[in-house]
Chain A
Amino acid sequence: MAITAESVRFGYRGTEVIRGASFAVPEGAITCLLGRNGSGKTTLIRLVNGILRPQSGSIRIGDLDVLQSPRPAVARQVAFVPQEHQGVFPYGVEELVVMGRNPHLGLIARPGAADREAARAAMETVGIAHLAERDYMEISGGERQLVLIARALTQETPYLLMDEPTSHLDFTNQHAIMSIVRRITRERGVGVLVAMHDPNLALAFADRVIMLREGRVFRAGPAAEVMTPENLQTLYEMPIDVVGLPDGRRLILTEER
Chain B
Amino acid sequence: MTRSDARPARRWRALLLSGLFTALVVLLSFGMGRYPIAPGEVMRILWQIVSGQFDVATASEAARVLYYIRLPRIILAALTGVALAGAGTLFQGMFRNPLVSPDVLGVSSGAALGAAIGILMPMGGTIQLWAFASGVAAVALTYGIARATRGQSVVMLVLAGMVVSAFFSAALSFLKYVADPYEQLPTIVFWLMGGFHRASWQAVGSLLLTVIPGAVLLLLTSWKLNILSLGDEEALSLGVNVRVLRPLLIAAATLMVAGAVSVTGTISWVGLVVPHIARMLAGADHDRSMPVAMLFGAGFMLLMDDLARSLTTAEIPVGILTSAIGAPFFGYLLITGRREAWR
Q: What residues of chain A have their CB less than 8 Å away from a CB belonging to chain B? A: 46, 49-51, 70-72, 74-76, 79-80, 82, 85-92, 94-95, 99-100, 102-103, 107-111, 132-133, 135, 137, 155
- Contact present for B234 and A80 (CB under 8 Å): yes
Residues of A within 8 A of B231 (CB): 86
**Interface assignment of B336: CB less than 8 Å from any CB of chain A:** no
Which residue of chain A is the closest to B340 with respect to CB atoms? A90
Within 8 A of A (CB), among B306-343: 339-340, 342-343
Check B234 against A108 for contact (C-beta < 8 Å).
no
In the complex, whether B60 has a CB less than 8 A from a CB of chain A is no
Pair B238/A88 contact, Cβ less than 8 Å = no
- Nearest CB in chain A to that of B2: its residue: A133
- B234 in contact with A79 (CB, 8 Å): no
Contact B287 A110 (CB under 8 A): yes
B residues touching A (Cβ–Cβ < 8 Å)?
3-4, 6-7, 93, 96-98, 220-221, 223-224, 226-227, 229-231, 233-234, 236-241, 245, 279, 283-285, 287, 339-340, 342-343
Residues A95 and B285 in contact, CB atoms below 8 Å apart: yes
With A85-B230, A132-B4 already in contact, the answer to whether A75 and B237 are too (CB < 8 A) is yes
Q: Show 15 residue pairs from A and B whose CB-CB distance is below 8 angstroms, ordered by the A residue.
A: A46-B233, A51-B233, A70-B241, A71-B240, A76-B239, A79-B237, A88-B97, A88-B342, A90-B340, A91-B226, A95-B226, A99-B227, A103-B238, A110-B223, A135-B339
Whole-angstrom distance from the CB of B240 to the nearest CB of chain A?
A: 6
Residue of A nearest to B245 (CB): A107
A88 nearest CB neighbor, chain B only: B96
Chain B residue with minimal CB distance to A110? B223
Cα of A153 to Cα of B224 in the assembled complex, Å: 19
CB-based contact A51/B237 at 8 Å: yes
Contacts A71-B239, A74-B239; is A133 near B230 (CB within 8 Å)? no
Closest B residue to A94 by beta carbon equals B4
Say whether B284 contacts A90, CB under 8 Å: yes
Do A85 and B234 touch across chains, with their CB atoms under 8 A apart? Answer: yes
Q: CA separation between A88 and B275, bound complex, in Å?
A: 14
CB distance from A110 to the nearest CB of B (A): 5
Closest Cβ neighbor of A76 among chain B residues: B239
Docked-complex contact A99 and B238, CB < 8 angstroms = yes
> A89–B221 contact, CB under 8 A?
no
Across-interface contacts of A46 in B (CB, < 8 A): 233
In the assembled complex, how far is the CB of residue B278 from the closest CB belonging to chain A, in whole angstroms? 12
Q: A99-B226, A110-B287 are in contact. Are A133 and B3 (CB under 8 A)?
A: yes
In the bound complex, how far is the Cα of B285 from the Cα of A94, in angstroms?
11
Alpha-carbon separation in the docked complex, A110 to B222 (Å): 9
Q: How far is the CA of A82 from the CA of B231 in the complex (A)?
A: 11
Chain B residues with CB under 8 Å of A99's CB are: 226-227, 230, 238
Separation of A133 and B97 alpha carbons in the complex (Å):
24
Q: How far is the CA of A161 from the CA of B211 in the complex (A)?
A: 41
